[in-house]
């Protein structure tokens, strides 16, 4: 079976009526046997799902065993766990080819999990997958290696589950799908940190659980241009409750239409980029909706929910170093690692961005395709002045402050970043500022953070890009 074809030209047959196993698990033992795969196997069995997992050391010799072939053929689903070392195993690759063959001929369904790798790693055989295939090309016939490559490319096109979707999982936990209360969930964080991306992923994952669902984008922008009635129109048009702007006159009529249309129904509404409490009051009051309804908002200002009853907040933080590096390289090089000679420069840019996805994407795109001499110049320029597109996005949060809050933000950006909070508060109060409340507002709007120093006292911190923005505004 090592030479089984991975062609997709054979049309799938109708699924069989009976199976020996519900699920066949394909995985690299050294990577996941005692961790993720064992937990997945146990969870499936707890649910009464009959699962085949190779625990009998059947992988001997160069050819996939008849026992494994039979198990694949007699399974309803195949769950393929792609991990960093998956492609180093010729057994795993032969299994994959057999799974694709059964998908084509027998209607076997495939579910893909990306554990510690990105789909592009598998699709294009880069990173650890490239290293594995460099060895395979020295040991195996070119035709067999090509079949393995084609199999990986084909399966990687499937929509899969990623172990890096942790923020989405955490938001879904806070949503509490099993409860019948009506709940608000705020996805809160700095501009450009990825709030909307998370909200969309959550929306697509859970919307089938609701009678009515709607994603209203750019609430703040529509509110500033058209008032609250403009945002209400956007929501009602999406739900096909109205067909034109002339269908109602003012915000009171709009609120009534939303309330009467959704009353008693289990509703999922996402309001993206909410900036004021009155937006919620006119778009999604809790008592307008039926049991189990969920209202998800993304916001830079945590205070928009302070008057609401039951709510949960998920704070979106920056990417960890490995994820930030991968994101930057995907934009700058169209692969998860830099080209030869660009490692050090890439590290400088990633460090500068401090985990901010927007900055990583914009700067990666800006540097893509440029020669190394230009990179050296660009990196020095980036250090001296932030890329204008990033700054313009970040300025949205600044422009939403009142005059005293703006002054305090600029003072901290220029002079007091890293100082103890109590000391800064005292200085600002002596200058006539209402320091306590203004600093609290800046923290709630993700423009400041508090960090604990060695003495256990709070110090004021600020993202480097926000510090740069503040200094540019002063200049």
Q: pLDDT digit string (tens) for 191-237?
A: 888 898 889 888 988 888 899 999 998 899 889 888 998 899 889 88
> pLDDT of 341-366, one tens digit each?
999 999 998 988 888 888 888 888 88
Say whether domain 394-474 belongs to CATH 1.10.10.10: yes
Q: How far is CA 16 from the centre of its chain?
A: 37
DSSP 416: I
DSSP 415: I
pLDDT at 455: 64
Instruction: Decide which of 309 and 268 is more confident.
Output: 268
Residue 343 tokens, joined: 């490692």
Give the residue among 322, 318, 314, 470 at the shortest CA–CA distance from 394. Answer: 470
pLDDT at 286: 87
Handedness of CA 115, 117, 122, 127 (dihedral sign): negative
Give the residue among 247, 192, 127 at the shortest CA–CA distance from 395. Answer: 192
Mean pLDDT over 175-203 rounds to 89
pLDDT at 454: 58
Q: Which of 151-165, 290-304, 387-401, 446-460 is modeled with the greatest confidence?
A: 290-304
Q: Which of 30, 73, 74, 95 is catalytic?
A: 95
What is the reported pTM?
A: 0.60
State the average pLDDT for the chain.
Answer: 84
φ, ψ at 460 (rounded to 5°)? -90, 125
Residue 315 tokens, joined: 């704070």
Instruction: Decide which of 449 and 159 is more confident.
Output: 449
Residue 374 sits at the vertex; the CA angle it makes with 369 and 380, to the nearest 5 degrees, is 125
Among 115-119, 191-195, 252-256, 454-458, which stretch is predicted with the lowest mean pLDDT?
454-458
CA–CA separation, 195 and 298 (whole Å): 6
pLDDT at 8: 31
> pLDDT of 115-138, one tens digit each?
877 777 788 888 788 889 999 999
pLDDT at 11: 37
CA–CA separation, 252 and 229 (whole Å): 8
pLDDT score of 316 more than 50: yes
- Segment holding 202, helix H or strand E: helix 195-206
Q: How confident is the model at residue 188 (pLDDT cuts 50, 70, 90)?
A: very high
**How does strand 183-188 pair with strand 212-216?**
unpaired
CA–CA separation, 16 and 322 (whole Å): 44
pLDDT score of 294 more than 80: yes
Residue 77 tokens, joined: 């689903």
CATH superfamily of 21-162: Toll/interleukin-1 receptor homology (TIR) domain (3.40.50.10140)
pLDDT score of 159 more than 60: no
CA–CA separation, 291 and 275 (whole Å): 26
Residue 285 tokens, joined: 């009051």
Give the residue among 431, 434, 453 at the shortest CA–CA distance from 442. Answer: 434
CA–CA separation, 463 and 446 (whole Å): 9
CA–CA separation, 356 and 285 (whole Å): 33
CA–CA separation, 334 and 347 (whole Å): 16
Residue 388 tokens, joined: 């204008």
pLDDT at 462: 86
Among 50-54, 87-91, 154-158, 421-425, which stretch is predicted with the lowest mean pLDDT?
154-158
pLDDT score of 160 more than 70: no
Under CATH, to which class is 166-315 assigned? alpha beta
pLDDT score of 143 more than 90: yes
> pLDDT of 79-92, one tens digit each?
999 988 899 999 89
- Farthest-apart Cα atoms in the chain, separation: 82
> pLDDT of 8-27, one tens digit each?
333 334 445 568 999 999 99
Q: How confident is the model at residue 386 (pLDDT cuts 50, 70, 90)?
A: low
Residue with tokens 């009171």: 252
Q: How confident is the model at residue 6 (pLDDT cuts 50, 70, 90)?
A: very low
Is 95 annotated in the active site? Answer: yes
- Segment holding 229, helix H or strand E: helix 219-238
pLDDT at 22: 92
HSE of 78 in the Cβ direction (CA atoms, 13 Å)?
Answer: 30
pLDDT score of 400 more than 60: yes
Residue with tokens 């991968």: 326
């Amino acid at each position: 079976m090592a030479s089984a074809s991975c062609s997709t030209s054979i049309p799938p047959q109708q699924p069989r009526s009976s199976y020996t196993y519900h699920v066949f698990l394909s995985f690299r033992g050294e990577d996941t046997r005692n961790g993720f795969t064992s937990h997945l196997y146990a969870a499936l069995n707890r649910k009464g799902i009959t699962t085949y997992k190779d625990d009998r050391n059947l992988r001997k010799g160069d050819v996939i065993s008849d026992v494994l072939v039979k198990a694949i053929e007699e399974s309803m689903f195949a769950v393929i766990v792609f991990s960093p070392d998956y492609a180093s195993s010729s057994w795993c690759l032969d299994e994959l080819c057999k799974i694709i063959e059964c998908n084509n001929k027998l209607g076997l369904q495939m579910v893909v999990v990306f554990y510690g790798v990105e789909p592009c790693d598998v699709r294009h055989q880069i990173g650890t997958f490239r290293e594995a295939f460099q060895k395979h090309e020295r040991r195996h016939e070119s035709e067999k290696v090509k079949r393995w490559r084609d199999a990986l490319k084909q399966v990687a096109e499937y929509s899969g589950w990623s172990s890096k979707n942790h923020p989405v999982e955490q938001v879904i936990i806070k949503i509490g799908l099993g409860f019948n209360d009506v709940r608000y969930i705020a996805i809160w964080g700095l501009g450009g940190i990825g709030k909307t991306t998370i909200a969309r992923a959550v929306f697509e994952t859970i919307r089938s659980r609701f009678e009515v669902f709607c994603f209203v984008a750019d609430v703040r922008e529509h509110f500033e241009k058209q008032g609250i009635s403009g945002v209400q129109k956007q929501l009602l048009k999406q739900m096909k409750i109205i067909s034109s702007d002339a269908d109602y006159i003012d915000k009171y009529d709009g609120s009534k239409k939303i309330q009467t249309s959704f009353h008693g129904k289990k509703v999922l509404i996402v309001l993206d980029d909410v900036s004021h409490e009155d937006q919620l009051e006119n778009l999604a009051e809790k008592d307008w909706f039926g049991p189990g309804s969920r209202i998800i908002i993304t916001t830079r200002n945590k205070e928009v929910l302070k008057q609401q009853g039951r709510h949960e907040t998920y704070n979106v933080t920056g990417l960890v170093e490995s994820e930030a590096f991968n994101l930057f390289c995907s934009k700058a090089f169209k692969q998860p690692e830099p080209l030869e000679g660009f490692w050090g420069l890439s590290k400088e840019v990633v460090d500068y961005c401090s985990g901010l996805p927007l900055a990583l994407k914009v700067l990666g795109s800006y540097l893509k395709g440029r020669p190394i001499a230009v990179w050296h110049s660009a990196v020095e320029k980036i250090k001296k002045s932030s890329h204008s597109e990033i700054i313009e996005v970040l300025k949205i949060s600044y422009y939403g402050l009142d005059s005293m809050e703006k002054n305090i933000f600029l003072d901290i950006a220029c002079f007091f970043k890293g100082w103890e909070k109590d000391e800064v508060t005292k200085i600002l109060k002596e200058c006539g500022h209402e320091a306590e409340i203004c600093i609290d507002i800046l923290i709630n709007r993700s423009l400041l953070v508090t960090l604990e120093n060695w003495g256990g006292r709070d110090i004021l911190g600020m993202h480097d890009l926000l510090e740069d923005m503040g200094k540019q505004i002063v200049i």
